[in-house]
Homo-oligomer: A and B are copies of this chain.
Amino acid sequence: MYSKFLNLDSEKQDRIVNAAMKEFAQKGYDLASTNQIVKEAGISKGLLFHYFKNKKQLYLFLFDYCYSMIVGEFYHKVDLSEKDFFKRTSEAIMIKMELMTSYPDLFKFMEEALLEESLEVKAELEKKRKEFIDINMEKFFEGIDYTKFRDDVNLPIMLKIITFTFEKLSDETLFKAKLAPGHEINYEEVRLEAEEYLKVLKRSFYK
């Protein structure tokens, strides 16, 4: 499918992928300009369409590309032998934040892609999103020891609340980093804050 593109020397591949990710992440599917992409990548108009038959195929290729990168890196780092839900979640959030710092464009693109509304790609994306979520949910929750949770309330809802909490916390951290001058994240501080939340959630949700 994308064999022509994948046979390119990887330096040019990177230039194209990065230019496209940046443009799509910034403007969304519909408003992203293939003109801008080729200018940024330093290639000709025709060449982009030689590799990807149209804007849509380019976008969907990028989605798959980013997805593989993220998932690969993530599961390479996460410790699935940790059975405690709080600890695993907390660790996952930290890893996610590290990855976002290492590959900011890639994550930016992925986040926007998950919100993308354009009719042109909505149907295809939806399928991919579903797969993404199903596969990763299952994988992430694998081996968790649920017996530690209190029995008098709904377990799935507790799990959701915990997930929500750490996601919001991560959002807040990244948002603050964005506003700060050097965009620097103080990971130690973040870890300490997360510990506070962990303590509250554990005392409230564990037996």
Interfacial residues, chain A to chain B (CB-CB below 8 A) = 26-28, 30-31, 112, 115, 117-119, 126, 129, 150, 152-154, 157-158, 160-161, 164-165, 167-169, 175, 178-179, 196-197, 199-201, 203-205
Contact = CB atoms under 8 A, between A and B. Distances in A.
Contact of A28 (B30, B157, B164, B204): B30
Main secondary structure of the interface of A (DSSP, over half): helix
A200 B157 contact: yes
Given A157-B197, A161-B200, 7 more contacts: A27-B119, A28-B30, A30-B30, A31-B31, A115-B115, A160-B197, A204-B205
A102 B149 CA distance: 40
A150 B153 CA distance: 17
A196 B204 CA distance: 16
Nearest to A158: B200
A115 B122 CA distance: 15
Given A168-B167, A203-B153, A197 B115 contact: no
A197 B161 contact: yes
A179 B191 CA distance: 34
Contacts of A112: 117
A205 to B, nearest CB: 6
Nearest to A202: B153
Nearest to A116: B117
